[in-house]
Amino acid sequence: MGMSIDRVPPSKNILHWSILAALSVLIALGYVDITWFKRWPPVDGGVPRVSILIWCVKLAPIFPIVASMVRLTPLRLTKTSALLFAYITFVVGLLLTLVAAGLSGAGGHVVFMHGATLTIAVLASFLVLCRGDIHSPMGLSTIALMIIPAIAATWSLAAGGMLVASARAMSSARPYCIALHGDRKPVSSLANLRGLSFYTTRTGYRDSFWWFFHGVLIVQNDVEKTVYNWSAKKLRFELLPPKNFEDDPRNECVPQHDFINTLPLI
């Protein structure tokens, strides 16, 4: 098991590579946690701390691009090695996804979709490095697998656009702001509004006042604030009825004019 040299010239696989490269870039755009990298290095008690596991998770969306770049070289994994790495990725990724989804309260279904599709992207990346071209069963299977996270990435980007449109429609030129519920601060960039970035992982219970929403839109009226909850399912902000929530979403951020226009891209 290990790396081998593919005797087929890379130029023969240009169609395969072009498709994989396009899907890989789309996955990175929809998945990469830009905010986490902007906060680097994370500090705990004055000492930078981050586990190898977290690094692997955060870098995972970039792995398809790396694999596509390596595909341009003659280097390849043997079929046995590629399948072994793909299997290990599937088992570890599924386990981490199930644990994370179970601990994520209201956002559990989004966390599961996020983790499951990202796992598929990584295991497919190992198959990208396997010998063969697009006409082989392995090549066709690889592209089919990579399309799954690419669809999720498309949803993530489209959700960001829908969120912006919904926020502007609900605010009707009034001051407003957008925040993840529980963050106590507004989102810091447009990238934070993507579907795979704008959801909660905080726990809570629907039958109690302790409940976290994915994200909130706070609109300033003449006297009071109106709060809207982001629906990841319906891809729109919905009016939140007045209620005595223990974690009051009205305090998440301070409304301002043209909030969206003040945000940088990343």
In the chain, the number of structural domains is 2
Pair 143, 228 in one domain? no
Pair 80, 166 in one domain? no
Is the pLDDT reported for residue 105 higher than 70?
no
Pair 43, 93 in one domain? yes
Pair 219, 243 in one domain? yes
* Identity at 152, one-letter amino acid code: A
Cα separation, 231 vs 214, whole angstroms: 7
- Residues 194-204: what's their mean pLDDT? 75
Task: Look up the domain containing 189 and give its range.
Answer: 161-262
| Domain edge (last residue) among 158, 191, 214 | 158
CB atoms within 10 A of CB 52: 7
Pair 21, 129 in one domain? yes
Is the pLDDT reported for residue 205 higher than 50?
no
| Domain edge (last residue) among 138, 158, 178 | 158
Pair 137, 25 in one domain? yes
The reported pLDDT for the residue numbered 249 is 73
| Domain edge (last residue) among 119, 134, 158 | 158
pTM of the entire predicted model: 0.82
The single-letter DSSP state of residue 242 is: P
Pair 127, 257 in one domain? no
SS3 (DSSP) at 217: strand
Pair 129, 176 in one domain? no
Cα separation, 183 vs 172, whole angstroms: 25
- Residues 79-96: what's their mean pLDDT? 92
Pair 153, 32 in one domain? yes
Pair 214, 202 in one domain? yes
Pair 168, 75 in one domain? no
